[in-house]
Structure 1
């Protein structure tokens, strides 16, 4: 019996056009009706979560910003919150200035990015498909560096943005020299940086302890590097078919792709076996 289902969104639960299929919605609602906790577990900040998912009645918990926050949605209470330490942020800002790196920051669940980047993401090498998402979720700031310094005591997390794989590799190497941070990635153009205590896996473990649910009764679905620790923690770790090979290899099961309703397909089959 599954008592908790943790769901990555982009590339896993949501189709490539960012929609939630009617079939998937129905399957989730059937589990919720049976008393299973269905939990959002996303790299997105809380403010960026799609209303289409949040409108599923009974999704009471959300793990956001790669585990920086665990929120009880009906009350708005943060069950866990681990912001970036100012000393770590200062080192990240030094890297940004040294490498003239593009970045975005998250403050109280809201993402902020440079105004020029928000206006024209494709000018920074991002695909056309990313434009609508970025412009609908990021708040544009004219001087992001100054904004970050002003709010250095209260940042949730920070992302480096680059499609240059050589630059990404260099930044990754230098990030390894900074203690007290957690680094992961959900898409090729991002390096997502948060406090060392973050991560979807640790957040799922904390929520499971809070709800007194053993890991054997938890299923977790994902498709990218930032889902690995969550998939490995859950008793039923599931990768969708569109995941990279190393993510599929670490999962207990592989289901259909996000565009084939892989999550719904697995949960329907699992339910009939119980």
Structure 2
């Protein structure tokens, strides 16, 4: 296992426990891995603003040679905010996605690196939750006012029971499959990214930049948007709390996020 030179770690439900805490054991283990020369890459659906406190704790912040994958693979950048790769949705994508939300009666918002936008004056509870979680403000904009705004991803956000019911039939989304990737990333989140965007494709790009191969990579995650990186990595790890689809493709299953699963798998393999 000495081949492992980089560890990609999801945030919610993986790096953080169910209380959104970074435990001392996980933090100390990651710091020890870094001291041993292992590069640690946070791979998350959040924007950079939503992980800055974690980067500070892990001594990764504001560095030209440390990297993060944000927006589920839509952006690859250094922790000093130099963007290396960025893929965005078009205005037509946004209009089509927003129209689906109206038809299905789901709350919906668009995410940019510095703001969340909603065309619904009755702002959804989960839009408010997401804004607070990732430290971004919310702006109300009509679809017509969104033409010049760079959108990295869009999100359908609602109560889990309602969301699951509405997305169980993919038919309303199917006409966009040739240009949009839809992924369930949390119980109340259904995300839309440009086709081809994933944590796996972002890690492939980063490995090529750093002259690494997939055999040099360990990837740890719990949700459907972690599938691609777990499949790509030489050592793909599912958390004990991972959804069944992730556990099915992982080579290894570690403890859950409330029992320091990230620390235990790093200690075992590195």
The answer to whether TM tops 0.5 is yes
Contact 1:46–1:110 (8 Å) recurs in 2: no
Please name the residue that 2:110 is paired with: 105
Shift of 1:115: 6.2
Any unmatched runs of 5+ in structure 1?
Answer: none
- Distance in 2, Cα, partners of 1:139 & 1:188: 23
Please name the residue that 2:173 is paired with: 175
Please name the residue that 1:58 is paired with: 60
**How has the CA–CA distance of structure 1 residues 232 and 4 changed in structure 2, closer, same or farther, with 3 Å as cutoff?**
same
Any unmatched runs of 5+ in structure 2?
Answer: none
Shift of 1:67: 0.2
Which range moves more in the overlay, 86-95 or 216-225? 86-95
- Distance in 2, Cα, partners of 1:146 & 1:67: 27
| 2:209 corresponds to 1:210 | yes
Please name the residue that 2:10 is paired with: 8
Please name the residue that 1:86 is paired with: 91
Which range moves more in the overlay, 172-181 or 246-255? 172-181
Report how many aligned residue pairs link the two structures: 258
**How has the CA–CA distance of structure 1 residues 77 and 48 changed in structure 2, closer, same or farther, with 3 Å as cutoff?**
same
| 2:76 corresponds to 1:70 | yes
The equivalences for 1:189-228 within 5 A come to 189-228=188-227
- Distance in 1, Cα, partners of 2:102 & 2:233: 39
Contact 2:255–2:264 (8 Å) recurs in 1: yes
Shift of 1:237: 0.2
What's the TM-score once normalised by structure 1's chain length?
A: 0.86
Which range moves more in the overlay, 174-183 or 87-96? 87-96
What's the TM-score once normalised by structure 2's chain length?
A: 0.87
- Distance in 1, Cα, partners of 2:252 & 2:115: 34
Please provide the CA RMSD for this pair.
2.1
Which range moves more in the overlay, 107-116 or 28-37? 107-116
**How has the CA–CA distance of structure 1 residues 24 and 31 changed in structure 2, closer, same or farther, with 3 Å as cutoff?**
same
**How has the CA–CA distance of structure 1 residues 244 and 98 changed in structure 2, closer, same or farther, with 3 Å as cutoff?**
closer
- Distance in 1, Cα, partners of 2:108 & 2:28: 38
Please name the residue that 2:49 is paired with: 47
| 2:155 corresponds to 1:159 | yes
Shift of 1:50: 5.0
The equivalent position to 1:139 in structure 2, one of 137, 141, 144, is 137
The equivalent position to 2:24 in structure 1, one of 22, 32, 40, is 22
